Amino acid sequence: MAAKVEIYTWRFCPFCIRAKALLDRKGVAYSEYAIDGDNKARAAMTERADGRSSLPQIFINDSGIGGCDELHALERGGQLDPLLAA
């Protein structure tokens, strides 16, 4: 069974685009929540992300992993594939 991957984004955010590009290259299906200008959605995301309000915010199996830099660090460290396989 594939991991449940969710990503909160702004449509023109370069970090959001970079994070989605990595997921796309890996063939990962994900749910994207584009929250451009939606303060209520951003507040809900911030609460879910333990106070982190930067974008993107990425969740794998309901666990917040952080943003673009954290996603790429997991990939470089060989830790992303096991998370996605869980």
User: Mean pLDDT throughout 75-79?
Assistant: 98
74: helix, coil or strand? helix
Print burial letters for 22-46: b (CB count within 10 Å at least 16), e (below 16).
Answer: ebeeeebebeebbbeeeeeebeebe
Whether 1 shows a pLDDT value over 80: the answer reads no
**CA gap 74, 86 in Å, rounded:** 14
Residue ranges of domains in the chain: 5-85
Closest CA to 74 of 34, 28, 43, 42: 28
- What average pLDDT does the chain have? 96
In percent, the amount of the chain with pLDDT more than 70 equals: 99
Crossing angle (nearest 10°) for helices 68-76 and 14-25: 30
- The whole-number average pLDDT for the span 52-80 is 97
The CATH code belonging to domain 5-85 is 3.40.30.10
